[in-house]
Amino acid sequence: MILIVDMNWKKDSLGYYEFVLPILAVAKTQDQCTVKHFLEVTSLEVSQCERVILSGTALQDTATLSQPEKFVWLKETEKPVLGICAGMETMGVVFGMRLIRCLEMGMTSISVVKQNPFCCEDFKAYSLHSYCVEPSANFEFFAKSTKCAQIIKHKTNPIYGVLFHPEVRNIELIKTFIQLKG
Amino acid sequence: MRLGVLFSGGKDSTLALHYAAEKEEVACLITLLSENKESFMFHTPNIDVSTLQAKALALPQITKKTKGEKEKELADLEDAIDEAAKKFKIEGVVTGAVESVYQAERVQRICNRLGLWCFNPLWKHDQKTLLEELLEKKFNVIISGVFAYPLDEKWLGKQIDTKMVERLVDLQQKYGLSPAGEGGEIETTVLDAPLFKRKIEALDYGVEFRGNSGVFIIKQAQLVSK
């Protein structure tokens, strides 16, 4: 079971169709999925699923960034987690990274910095973010754009962040994540 | 949240409006009337019908004429959205973008500059499912433009029904056409939808077809009760 966390500012929002459904469409081809809004996710639910994907949000939506306390489960879990866009930014805040104003929109060139499970050569991805994070010492970073870190991973746990939107132009990345061993 | 919907009167913007109205308050429609038949972003043969559609929906509408030259068109769109923000106090914009990162990025940039939210409720949705959803929700949609082989004049003015959806999906397999016309192969006009308080009846129309493209032009139409 994959838990997809709806990161939009409220449950059952207009952002659900744009930021959650496209991820669900890819993920459900690989495994059973369940969707929960971030305010409803508990450590128990996380422990009952195999892996977790945190969705992105609208550019103006910063609700999760100001509520890192709702994501304490992120620090406790050993399950694979993929944070997409706002999902990665929130992950950054939870793990004490610095959030920096950084705007990227549209197709963006991504270059590989370090060998990783997702990409072995440079590629283009769809970006829609107004913040980025500065990877902290407990994270390594796998890929970057000209402006900022684009793919990061926690050094010991299988916790990944991607700043671009793989559900838009790089769906293989989501499938690769789902096939990763826990 | 008060929203303005970028509205061409075609199936995608009308369905996006439907979703938006279910979740938030739609304060106005925003329509660009393109004078350029090859417009990059807003080409719809029956765009003038949108005024009648706005009346049918009982929603105020900001309309702006544009020559439809690539960058000028975007400046005109930004002006129209800005006007909607000032006049109707909208906090966000809704589009019917499904697949085009070109369209989506341009509107996102405008909204970001104006400090507005931007929503694309049909984004990345499966095209066949979108067509089926229109049928389920009892939208009356006609084909008002065809722009790719093997679509011909026989399609113009026809209502999208179950059989047509099957044919479009079939053409996707044979010719690589996108079934919902997202690649610009098809333009549509909505004559009736759940949010329409009255429906549109075409009284006079004409068909123009040249080479591999054609349009169905509604010359005269009226609103009738449902």
Test B108 with A13 for CB contact under 8 angstroms.
no
Of the two residues B168 and B134, the one the predictor is more confident about is B134
Query: Per-residue confidence at B197, pLDDT binned at 50, 70, 90?
Result: very high
The sign of the torsion formed by the CA atoms of B3, B113, A53, A120 equals positive
Contact predicate B191/B202, CB 8 Å: yes
What average pLDDT does range B147-166 have in this prediction?
93
Measured in angstroms, the CA of B210 and the nearest CA of chain A are apart by 35
Does the N-terminal peptide bond of residue B150 adopt cis geometry, omega within 30 degrees of 0? yes
- Rounded to whole angstroms, the Cα distance separating B221 from B226 reads 15
In angstroms, rounded to a whole number, what is the distance separating the alpha carbons of residues B90 and B82? 9
Name the B residues in 92-131 with CB < 8 Å from any A CB. Answer: 92, 94, 101, 105, 108-109, 111-112, 115-126
Q: Quote the CA–CA distance of A14 and A12 in Å, as a whole number.
A: 7
Mutation target to probe the A interface, by most A beta carbons within 10 A, among B1, B19, B110, B123 is B123
Contacts of A15 in chain B (CB under 8 A): 119
For the cut 80, the answer to whether the pLDDT of residue A74 exceeds it is yes
Alpha helices in chain A (DSSP H): 16-19, 21-27, 43-48, 73-76, 86-94, 166-169, 171-179
Is residue B194 very low, low, confident or very high in pLDDT (cuts 50, 70, 90)? Answer: very high
Name the catalytic one among A18, A33, A49, A85: A85
What percent of chain A is modeled with pLDDT above 90?
98
Domains of chain A as residue ranges with CATH: 2-179 (3.40.50.880)
Determine whether A129 is an active site residue. Answer: no
pLDDT of B41 reads 47
* C-alpha dist (Å) from residue A173 to A29, A165, A169, B65: 13, 10, 10, 42
Helix (H) or strand (E) holding A33: strand A33-37
**Is B125 in contact with A17 (Cβ distance < 8 A)?**
yes
Partner-chain residue, chosen from A59, A106, A168, that has the shortest CB–CB distance to B118: A59
Report ipTM for this prediction.
Answer: 0.95
Distance CA B23, CA B28 (A): 15
User: What was the pLDDT predicted at B35?
Assistant: 74
Predicted local distance difference test score (pLDDT) of residue B83: 98
**Cα A125 from Cα A108, distance rounded (Å):** 5
Whether residue A14 and residue B94 make contact (CB cut-off 8 A), yes or no, is yes
pTM for the model: 0.94
Q: Which of A6, A17, A29, A102 to mutate to test the interface with B (most CBs of B within 10 A)?
A: A17
Average pLDDT of chain B is 90
3-class secondary-structure state, position B155: helix
Closest residue to B117, CB basis, from A58, A130, A168: A58
Q: Which residue has the higher pLDDT, B169 or B137?
A: B137
Q: Which of A118, A156, A120, A111 is nearest to A137 (CA)?
A: A156
Would you call B125 and A60 a contact, using CB atoms and an 8 Å cutoff?
no
pLDDT at residue A4 tops 70: yes
Structural domain boundaries in chain B: 2-119, 139-225
Residue B69 has a pLDDT of 73
Closest CA to B212 of B173, B174, B182, B186: B186
How close, in Å, is residue A140 to chain B by CA atoms? 30
Which pLDDT band holds residue B40 (cuts at 50, 70, 90)? very low
The matching CATH number, chosen from 3.40.50.300, 3.40.50.11710, 3.30.70.940, 3.40.50.620, for B2-119 is 3.40.50.620
Tokens matching residue B16: 């996006």
H or E, element range at A53: strand A51-54
Poorest-pLDDT segment among A36-45, A53-62, A109-118, B167-176: B167-176
Helix (H, G, I), strand (E, B) or coil at A107: strand
Residues of A in contact with B111 (CB under 8 A): 59-60
In the block, tokens 């499912």 appear at B129
Q: Measured between CB atoms, which of A12, A15, A21 is closest to B125? A: A21
Instruction: Using the Cα atoms of residue B167, residue B169, residue B175 and residue B180 in order, give the sign of their dihedral.
Output: positive
Radius of gyration of chain A (CA): 14
pLDDT surpasses 70 at B46: no
Least confident of B13-17, B114-118, B153-157: B153-157
A41-65 tens-digit pLDDT? 999 999 999 999 999 999 999 999 9
Inspect the interface and report whether the beta carbons of B117 and A169 lie closer than 8 Å: no
pLDDT, position B47? 53
Q: What architecture is domain B139-225? A: Alpha-Beta Complex (3.90)
Residues 6+ apart with CB under 8 A from B166: none
